[in-house]
Amino acid sequence: MSNRQRLRLGYGTNGLTDLRLDDALGLLADLGYDGVGLTLDHMHLDPLAPDLAARTARVAHRLDALGLTATVETGARYVLDPRRKHGPSLLDADAEGRAARTRLLITAVQVAADLGAHAVHCFSGITPPGTDDDTAWQRLQEALAPVLDAAAAADVPLAIEPEPGHLLATLADFHHLRTSLGSPPSLGLTLDIGHCQCLEPEPPAACVRAAAPWLRHVQIEDMRHGVHEHLPFGDGEIDFPPVLEALADTGYQGLTVVELPRHSHAGPELARSSLEFLQAVPATSTKGASAS
């Protein structure tokens, strides 16, 4: 069996924000995707609007009817504060701000459980100005503790993403958090393949293999070294055959979700072309290891 047959592919709704959620899900099913990375936001299953349980039940029914699975993603830019991108974060100087983010993540865990989703994605946030690293790490650990408890109770792993520019930016940072928390089983990793290309010292395929024991969610797109810009496949520098081969070799069973949050204007076409690209990737590299 080839790598592309073994991987389960999805597309992120943060790249389909010009579509109604029902239409976005129908599009992905019609194209042949296995699932969806569902970002909780005002246009797609708003986590703060009334009747969330009823609305979640309707989405669960729609997913089931279409044969799609889901990951719940929590990277909406202004879902908590209309004036601060990704604010407040788990590192916010204001304790109530941190608590608001924690509550949102606990809500996301409940939504994921109700959807039968395989993970909840999150990230640390950017260290606020004037905050030292020790304080930032302490805030992160304290803010995540009740989320990890909720995730354990719901049997839905929390998958934190190393994000360029954030406190938790690299795989090494993930391991620092994991060991500081005592390696809780409910804490896993979201690995963004483009971020590996952008920031990690090892090539993306090596990152996949190193991350395998903790891998709970995967995001994928093209990217260039040192530049945090999510690009359509073929517009960056990533050598994808060894990446998909590594993912297949790990036995990872979750979704591998295309992550193009700044391309919603072309979302339907990019959803089509992205799936075609990933399905056409050969089983062995054609560029050579130096291109990774």
What's the pLDDT tens digit per position in 129-177?
999 999 999 999 999 999 999 999 999 999 999 999 999 999 999 999 9
* Mean model confidence pLDDT for the chain: 94
Predicted confidence band of residue 283 (pLDDT cuts 50, 70, 90): low
Q: What does pTM read for this prediction?
A: 0.93
Q: What is the pLDDT of residue 287?
A: 40
Q: What is the pLDDT of residue 284?
A: 55
Rg of the chain over all Cα atoms, to the nearest angstrom:
18
What's the pLDDT tens digit per position in 39-85?
999 999 999 999 999 999 999 999 999 999 999 999 999 999 999 99
Q: What is the pLDDT of residue 11?
A: 98
Residue 292 has pLDDT above 60, yes or no: no
Residue 3 has pLDDT above 80, yes or no: no
Residue 4 has pLDDT above 70, yes or no: no
Residue 233 has pLDDT above 50, yes or no: yes
Residue 215 has pLDDT above 50, yes or no: yes
Predicted confidence band of residue 286 (pLDDT cuts 50, 70, 90): very low
For residue 72, give Cα distances in angstroms to 13, 44, 54, 112, 264: 10, 11, 17, 6, 18
Residue 285 has pLDDT above 80, yes or no: no
Predicted confidence band of residue 282 (pLDDT cuts 50, 70, 90): confident
For residue 214, give Cα distances in angstroms to 187, 217, 240: 8, 9, 21
Q: What is the pLDDT of residue 6?
A: 74
Rounded distance between C-alpha atoms, residue 20 and residue 42, angstroms: 11
Rounded distance between C-alpha atoms, residue 97 and residue 94, angstroms: 5
Cβ atoms 109, 147 nearer than 8 A: yes
Q: What are phi and psi of 190, to 5 degrees?
A: -95, 120
Share of the chain above pLDDT 70, in %: 95
Predicted confidence band of residue 5 (pLDDT cuts 50, 70, 90): very low
Inter-helix orientation angle 171-180/133-154, to 10°: 70
Residue 201 has pLDDT above 50, yes or no: yes
Burial 70-82 (b: 16+ CB within 10 A, else e): bbbbbbbeebbee
Residue 2 has pLDDT above 60, yes or no: no
Q: What is the pLDDT of residue 167?
A: 98
Predicted confidence band of residue 106 (pLDDT cuts 50, 70, 90): very high
Predicted confidence band of residue 290 (pLDDT cuts 50, 70, 90): very low
What single DSSP character describes residue 254?
S
Ordered domains of the chain (ranges, CATH): 3-281 (3.20.20.150)
CB atoms within 10 A of CB 245: 22
